[in-house]
Amino acid sequence: MAGIISVSRKDLAKRRQKLRQQQRIRILQTIWRTLAASGIAGGLLWSIVQPIWVLRTPTQVVMTSNDKKLSSQTIESLLALSYPQSLWRIEPAMIAKTLKQQPAVSKAYVSRRLFPPGLIIEIQEKLPVAISQTVLKPNLNNCQTQSQTSKNSCIKNPNTENQHNQVTLLDADGTLIPWKKYITLNPKGKLPSLKVIGVPEQYRAYWSQLYQAVSQSAVKVTEIDCRNPTNLILKTELGRVHLGVPTQLAEKFHALEQIQQLPSKLDFQQIAYIDIKNPNSLLVHTN
């Protein structure tokens, strides 16, 4: 029994020694990993603060739209950045949010470029579907009197002529897109053939439904006059159409399509306008 007890104690001592060695190895491995991680983090921090990671000029920003690279002048007009600026202080999410607030921008994606340092920006433009023309009423300040004829005579003031007709673009959701903003992003873009006359604030509430009905109609519409909300007037291939209030649009356009062959049976020049205010009772007014 004494021999067995002596051997067991030796085995236990060896095991304890082996465990101590394994523990020392684990401690050394932990220290080595910590030092290695600290070295890597320090190296990254050192590389980040180096002058190479700096935006110095707008040429380091690449902005594309519809797979086309935009000019430096366009980038500067859309992007308010100060130079020089550390690449790591720039927040891509904030830049994307700012760009999407532009009236002509639908979506924006921004990312950092490390080699060479810079920014990569991709934007998607809003698609204009109509030209919005706001007709303002002239006032006394927009007139020039002619004292030679009479005190009440008035002629157009050339300095305010552009204020009478303010032309912008309109997308399918009713968002106004300034002409200059659209041309800046898409200088070769084609203008829509549809024109809308009136104050956008008055027709914006029903514009989406109205445009959907117009775009799906088999009758081509080139102009919508929304100045009188109780009677919208359309200029179509059939002639003038009085739509009335913007309700029952599907029924009204369906009725209009039913009389699409009307000009072949009646002299087109004799038609003054077509009244579809009541889709169940169409009226054709002649000259």
Same domain, 248 and 132: yes
Angle among Cα 232, 213, 171 to the nearest 5 degrees reads: 85
Same domain, 132 and 272: yes
- The DSSP code for 60 is G
How many domains is the chain partitioned into structurally?
2
pTM of structure:
0.69
Same domain, 180 and 105: no
Angle among Cα 236, 238, 241 to the nearest 5 degrees reads: 60
8 A C-beta contact, residue 231 and residue 203:
no
Same domain, 116 and 211: no
Same domain, 132 and 97: no
Same domain, 215 and 86: no
Same domain, 175 and 253: yes
Q: Can you give the CATH number for the domain in which 220 is found?
A: 3.40.50.11690
Rounded-to-integer distance, Cα 225 and Cα 126, Å: 23
CB atoms within 10 A of CB 244: 18
Tell me how far CA of residue 151 lies from CA of 42, 68, 147, 148, 225, in angstroms.
83, 58, 6, 8, 34
DSSP strand pairing (239-244 vs 271-275): parallel
Ranges under pLDDT 50 in the chain = 1-4, 137-161, 163-165
Q: Among 101, 82, 100, which Cα is nearest to 90's?
A: 82
Give the tokens for residue 38. Answer: 């600290």
Same domain, 266 and 132: yes
Q: Looking at 97, 125, 153, which one is the last position of a domain?
A: 125
DSSP strand pairing (271-275 vs 283-286): antiparallel
Phi and psi of 8, rounded to 5°?
Answer: -60, -40
SS3 state at 144: strand
Angle among Cα 74, 96, 104 to the nearest 5 degrees reads: 50
Same domain, 214 and 241: yes
> 150-156: long-range contacts (C-beta < 8 A, 24 or more apart)?
none
Helix 200-216, helix 249-258: angle, nearest 10: 50
Residue type, 69: K
8 A C-beta contact, residue 203 and residue 211:
no
- The DSSP code for 147 is T
State residue 51's pLDDT score: 61
Place of tokens 């992003």: 185
The domain in which residue 104 lies consists of 54-125
Q: Among 140, 148, 168, 144, which Cα is nearest to 158's?
A: 144
SS3 state at 66: coil
Q: Give just the sign of the alpha carbon dihedral 109, 114, 119, 125.
A: negative
State residue 262's pLDDT score: 61
Rounded-to-integer distance, Cα 219 and Cα 189, Å: 25
